[in-house]
Structures are given as structure tokens and as C-alpha cells.
Amino acid sequence: MGHFIRFALLSSSLVLGLVLGLVLGLALAACAIARVPDVNTPQANRPNYPVVIEQSPTRQQRAENAWGLFLTENRLPRTAPDLDPILAVPRSIPPALAQKININPKGDALSPEAAKEALRQFIERSLRVLAGNQQDRELTLKDISLASFSNDATFYRATYHQTSFLYPLTNGYGDLIITISKTGDLLQLTSRLVPIMDLPSSPSVDIAKLTAALVGREFKYTAIDGRELQYRVANAQEIIVRDLVIYPREQDGRLSFYLAYPVDVGRGTTWTVVIDAVTGQEIDVKQNFNT
């Protein structure tokens, strides 16, 4: 009987130990799960940031194919395109095609409103060429907005800006500039349209910390007489953080797209420091005065 009691007690102890071990194991696992994810870091949330576009023979070939169709549709002679090496968008009209493309079927003088409509129709017909024949989500007229329109004595110039993103594209990208004669001859064309891509929608950088980090920053520049000068940021009042933008930057044959804060720094002599709004790293610096 005593052996039976000792065995029962031992069995109960083992069961209790197993239960306690299981509970403790679950608790430790829960703690580990609570500690492991550092999901608020840019690296954890955005493994493909910044988005990078590199030179691509495939992209270039697609753009050249689209250009060939454009020439055929407009009954133009075979002419090599002048394409951006990375984006594969037309940088200019080849000289051989100067004033050989007319976007005004009526042939009469265009009023400003008629010119805007003719340009709209031309862009709609030619968007695959103007946007580099993108294969993912293709641009439409909804992605492009007329930013400015000038009426010169002999021509019209229209500048369109790409609005595909939550924040404005900067650094010279996202623009489409077209110049036509008053009768609709295409005189100049420059496209800086970019593919539609997924970019962060919100920053991870604290603006107060960003500002504090720039206090004491020194900038070197050359005076008009050739002297090397230096400017030191004295306090936070010399720092203005601008609204968020999409900032493409070309470097070493690669085009990188950042969510960024342009930060104006200085007093009298100023610089714009472009700060990555996700990582806090400095992307670019631009001097805002001539020397």
C-alpha cells in the first residue's frame, strides 16, 4: 500500500512538473515573441527601399519597339530615337524629324485652348513612347497634369507634371515638356516620366531630431574672388524642413527613388540638404546661390 501511495505521489509530481514546465515554456515563448520583431525599423518594413532602376537592355528594346510603331503611325522615316539610358524615355526629337510631326490635323492656326486639346490628344496617342513603354502599370492621362502653358509669339510650350505618387516628384523628374508651333508642328519634346512604383507613404524620421542633427553643420564654398569660405549653422532658426517629396537621384548608372525631406539650411547663403525620410541619411546637398 505504501508503495502505491509513493507511486501515486510521484506520478502526481511528474504531472505537476510537466504542467508547470509547459506553462513556463509558453510564457517564455510569449516573451520571446514580444521581444523579437523590430518591425518599426525601416529595414524590417521596407526591404526593397529605396526603389532602384538600372539600365536594362529589355527596357531599352521595348522603348525602341514603341518608337518604331510611333514612326509608322505618323508615317515618318526610320530614325533612331534619343532615349534616356536608364528610363528609356525620349530626351529630344531627333534633328531628322524636326518639324515633320504635326499634331494638328486641321492645319490651321491653333488658339491656346485648341493647342491644349491637340496636345492632350497627342499625349494620349503617344503615351507608351513618352513613358518608355512601361510593362507594369502603364501611365494614363490621369497620371499627368498640365503645370504650365506659355503662349509665345510663334509657339506654345506646355509643361506637364506626373502625379502618380502621394508626394510630388522632384529633382527634374516627372516632367513632360512639349513645344509646338502655332500650326501644330512638334518643335521640342523632353520626357522625364518615371515608372509607377510602390514607395513608403509615411516617414520614419523625427523632424526635431533631424533639425538638431543639422545644427553645427559646416558647408564649404568658394567666394566670387576665389577664396575658400565656410559657413556653420548656428541654431535651429536657420533650418526649415520642407514638405515630403519623392526624390530620384541618378548615380553610377542607377536611378534611386527616395521619400525625402528637403531641408533649407543657412541665412543669406543657403543650401538644401535632402534627407531620407525613412532612414535619416543624407541623400544630396544643393547650393542655392551662385559663386
Domain-by-domain residue ranges, the chain? Answer: 2-36, 54-191, 207-287
Look at residue 243 in the predicted model and tell me its pLDDT: 98
Q: What does the alpha-carbon distance between residue 267 and residue 273 come to, in Å, rounded to a whole number?
A: 14
Listed residue (39, 53, 99) closest to 249, CA to CA: 53
Alpha helices in 94-148 (DSSP H): 112-130
Q: Along the 291 residues of the chain, how does pLDDT read in single tens digits? A: 444 334 333 344 433 443 334 433 433 333 332 322 222 333 435 568 999 999 999 999 999 999 999 999 999 999 999 999 999 999 999 999 988 999 998 888 999 999 999 999 999 999 999 998 776 678 899 999 999 999 999 999 999 999 999 999 999 999 999 999 999 999 999 999 999 999 999 999 999 999 999 999 999 999 888 899 999 999 999 999 999 999 999 999 899 999 999 999 999 899 999 999 999 999 999 999 987
Q: Looking only at Cα atoms, what is the longest distance across the chain? A: 117
Lookup: cell for 150: 506659355
